[in-house]
Amino acid sequence: MFSLSITMKRYLPIFGLVVLFFLAACTSPAVSATATPQESIPAPTVEQDVDAVSEAKPAAEPQPTATVDPTATPHPISNSGTGSLPAVPGSTLFDVPWDDRSVFAPGLISAEQSALDLRPGASVYHIDLSIDDDLTTLSGREEVRYTNTENVALHEIYFRLFPNIADGRIDVTGLTVNNQPVEPRYELEESVMVAPLAEALQAGEQIVIGMNMVIEIPTEGGGNYGTFATVDGIAALAHFYPMIAVYDDEGWNVEIAPSNGDVVYSDSSYYLVRVDAPEKQKILTSGFETGGEIGNGRQTVTFAAGPMRDFYLVSSDRYDLISQKIGETTISAYAPPEVAKENELALRYAVDAFSGHSERYGAYPFTELDVVSTPTQAGGVEYPGIVVVALNLYDKNFPFFEAATAHEVGHQWFYSTVGNDQVDEPWLDESLTQYATLLYYRDVYGQAGYEAARDNDIQRRWDNIDRADIPIGLPVAAYSENGTYSGIIYGRGALFFETLATALGDATFEALMRDYYETFKWDIATTEGFKALAEKHCQCDLTTLFEEWVYEKGGLG
């Protein structure tokens, strides 16, 4: 989850400065045939400037993590009883075998169909949900086929229960492992559920974990900038379901993330989700709709998503839709009719960002990308295949609107497709996406637009904390002072990528970024993985540069 906090009074004077600068420096871009002319200009994309919550784990010196090798031979998968466990049970929710990935094929462009043959150990979620009439309660069942892709035997499986730390509530009952009841234990304010295993799950072995769930949705607040809440007839349901945690060099990587950063760190998985909801609701999710039916004032719609890092759902009867197709991908924009003109701008911004990023980094892998307005208290939030922009930004005269939209679309490359630990290494997606947003302004407005955005957003963020010489490669919790997270991750961090591009030269840097996208696609990148790849491209040692910008002072990252 990515959010842009809106401390409006603090930044309104800056907007005026940016307007004057931009009018003097930039010319208007060409107008798309499907949208009104762009009327925004580069401006500060106001990020999260709040202190870390007290529950967060203390900031620690970042340690090197092993570089992911997507070409490594995976463990043989055992689901037929040849290991210590019997064959895994099939799904009770869908008549689709766990290993049948053909259902996900329509969601991938033709060049990415081969992704379905990769990572046989990716988790597969089957979820059946019912949303009540007032959009305040979810109930249903989840079954997930999990494979141990680690090099060690596992004695328990960790799930994240994010609603329990987002002003809502999720209660799980009837927990089973391979149809056998187990008693869970809970940790971290019940944001973690641990499912014990009667027998150790060896490398390559699989199990099916099932559970029933009832989820209470808050109608205000919603934790982490209201990303999980029903407000003004819009149910925005971020990471509402029990989600398997990442197992990495730290073991089961779980913590209560600081409130000024992203909270989800997850592996790419596959999702089949059936949603029963009031008939008038538009249900928008990660992935694509595979079918549905209507009757007795209700609708049942099924969605398929994968490989995706998370599954997001938003539901409302307030949305109108406009869309545009670029290649094999349909980009859709959803907003209430009273902001129809602004929704045309949102689509235009998304199309321009999509086109630039696709050419620069590589093809967007999915056949759908949605841009949705919600009452989030953030400026924008990214999810796989769908991005959210705050409804109160839908004002064609508000420059933050354009920046937030372009930024979130950029996260489809860096966070969604290329993953990272957003809690401990936020620079890998946030700083890089900020730099990608600078390049968006250059694509659309030319060099003058790039310089305006750089000076009045990126550089100004760092200036606001007196250009503090704080490393960009620290965990979110390390940036506890007000404004430090924004100033370092969204300011200094973006300037690091500008510096790296200058040091390597444009051609080498562009080749690096395309290789980075392809190398870590569907996987989890690390600081050391990025550095090693950069050094491969430049045939040089970048340690000094990383010590100056990225690593904690006094020691390597």
Higher local confidence (pLDDT), 69 or 297: 297
Spatial distance between the Cα atoms of 424 and 60, rounded to a whole number of angstroms: 9
Q: With a cut of 60, say whether residue 80 has pLDDT above it.
A: no
What is the structure's pLDDT at 62?
A: 33
Higher local confidence (pLDDT), 2 or 333: 333
pLDDT in tens, 33-62: 333 333 222 333 333 332 222 233 333 333
What is the structure's pLDDT at 22?
A: 33
Spatial distance between the Cα atoms of 52 and 475, rounded to a whole number of angstroms: 11
What mean pLDDT is predicted for residues 451-458? Answer: 95
Q: Please state which of the ranges 61-75, 201-215, 294-308 shows the lowest mean pLDDT.
A: 61-75
Q: Judge whether 546 and 534 are in contact, CB under 8 Å.
A: no
Q: With a cut of 90, say whether residue 129 has pLDDT above it.
A: yes
What is the structure's pLDDT at 242?
A: 98
Q: In the numeric block, which tokens belong to residue 214?
A: 């009832």
What mean pLDDT is predicted for residues 454-468? Answer: 95
The DSSP bridge partners found for residue 283 are 315
Instruction: Please state, for a pLDDT cut of 90, what percent of the chain lies above it.
Output: 79
Strands (DSSP E) found in 25-183: 124-131, 137-147, 154-160, 169-177, 180-181
pLDDT in tens, 500-526: 999 999 999 999 999 999 999 999 999
Q: What is the average pLDDT value for the chain, to the nearest integer?
A: 87
What mean pLDDT is predicted for residues 7-27? Answer: 33
What is the structure's pLDDT at 540?
A: 97
pLDDT in tens, 95-121: 999 999 999 999 999 999 999 999 999
What is the structure's pLDDT at 85?
A: 56
Confidence of residue 396 (pLDDT cuts 50, 70, 90): confident
What is the structure's pLDDT at 397?
A: 74
Output the domain CATH number for residue 251.
1.10.390.10
Domain count, the chain: 1
What mean pLDDT is predicted for residues 255-262? Answer: 89
In the chain, the N- to C-terminal Cα span, in Å, equals 24
Report the predicted TM-score, pTM, of the whole model to 2 decimal places.
Answer: 0.86
Confidence of residue 475 (pLDDT cuts 50, 70, 90): very high
What is the structure's pLDDT at 45?
A: 34
Spatial distance between the Cα atoms of 336 and 451, rounded to a whole number of angstroms: 34
Give long-range contacts, CB 8 A cutoff, 24+ apart: 357-361: 357/409, 357/410, 357/412, 357/413, 357/436, 357/440, 358/326, 358/327, 360/436, 360/439, 360/510, 360/513, 360/514, 361/413, 361/436, 361/513, 361/514, 361/517
Q: With a cut of 50, say whether residue 67 has pLDDT above it.
A: no
Place of tokens 């499912």: 195
Higher local confidence (pLDDT), 40 or 273: 273
Spatial distance between the Cα atoms of 141 and 170, rounded to a whole number of angstroms: 12
Spatial distance between the Cα atoms of 422 and 413, rounded to a whole number of angstroms: 14
Candidates 454, 333, 352, 344; CA nearest to 29 is 352
User: What is 409-461 written as a DSSP string?
Assistant: HHTTTBTTTBB--TTT-GGGTHHHHHHHHHHHHHHHH-HHHHHHHIIIIIHHH
Confidence of residue 275 (pLDDT cuts 50, 70, 90): very high
- Domain containing 327 equals 1-557
Residue 69's SS3 state is coil
What mean pLDDT is predicted for residues 436-451? Answer: 98
